[in-house]
Amino acid sequence: MLTFMESALAITEAASGSDPDTGLRAVAALRELTERLEILQVDNARSRGWTWQQVAARLGVTKQTVHRKHGRRTGRQS
Amino acid sequence: MTRTFNEDANAIVVQAYERATGLGHPYLGAEHLLLALSSVGQPAGAILREHGVTPERVEAEIVRQSGGGLFGDLDRGALAAVGVDIDAVRATTEASFGLEALTRAALAVHHKPRWFNPRPAAFAGRDGAYLPLGPGAGQALHGARRQAQARGVTAPFGVEDLALGILAVSEGLAPPILSALGVQGPAMSAAIMDRRHPAG
């Protein structure tokens, strides 16, 4: 495993460079990470009794969008 | 057509799929191949276990380091390049929600119907269920072939060839798992080669 210093060095190098390969892969990975965190956070909010309206407002999307995306999984149709 | 791997090596790939599915992970990573390899009876598996790389310890590290499978297949290197430490994200979300919630979310990530199988069943599990290849898995399988060919071995490749491919992986969770168990890939590879071609 990389030590902290090594990984910090790697970050600085990559960020200061303009390698499209790393940059584009990072964008794709961030998008995927966002999707995963959304599932986790939406499920948590719903299990705490948040309404779709409340969830949608925080995510900055419509209630319909969030319900279409997560409604079937969390199994609550309200 | 010659198969890439012989029956024993292929059984490891199939078992890796089953272990990944069993853990609720929506991808096949090199770490699942390592888990399957560590449990086989062939010399490569025995050598791993002699060095403390047992199925139990590998599985525990996989669960810990992949965040229940929710983060294990993300491109760690690319995320680190933009300043996102995936291990930190895993640690904070696991502390907040618990490993079980992470595993549940991982199961929800890839919800393609089971009949959707975009690739031939060559590397699919016994039930034909399809998992995308996660980081390191392709590297392990292709690396196994390349390394074997470089040694003059021809297909189908065996368990030792596959083991050397898995141990040489540089992406994904296999390297940090080996490191956490106190072993190094190159040293394990050397031990496997020694057992197969004893010096003297």
Q: How far apart are CA B36 and CA B62, in angstroms?
A: 12
Please name every residue paired with B157 in a beta bridge, in sequence order, or none if there are none: B5
Interior angle at CA A31, CA A26 and CA A37, nearest 5? 120
Give the tens place of pLDDT for each residue, B3-22. 889 999 999 999 999 999 88
pLDDT exceeding 70 applies to what percent of chain B? 86
Search chain B and give the residue with CA nearest A73: B108
Per-residue model confidence as pLDDT tens digits over B91-103: 999 999 998 899 8
With an 8 Å Cβ cutoff, are B105 and A29 in contact?
Answer: no
Domain count, chain B: 1
The number of helix segments (H) and strand segments (E) in chain B equals: 11, 0
Q: Which residues of B touch A39 (CB under 8 A)?
A: 105, 108-109
Domain that holds residue B24: 7-196
Residue B71 has a pLDDT of: 92
Residues of A in contact with B175 (CB under 8 A): 1
ipTM exceeding the 0.85 mark: no
pTM, two decimal places: 0.79
Average pLDDT over residues B126-153: 85
In a domain, B1, yes or no: no
CB B166 within 8 A of CB B29: no
Q: In the predicted model, what is the mean pLDDT of residues A22-39?
A: 92
Name the residue of chain A whose CA is nearest to B103's CA: A40
CATH number of the domain bearing residue B189: 1.10.1780.10
Helices H, strands E: what count in chain A? 4, 0
B135 is a domain residue: yes
Label residue A7 by pLDDT band (50, 70, 90): low
CB B29 within 8 A of CB B134: yes
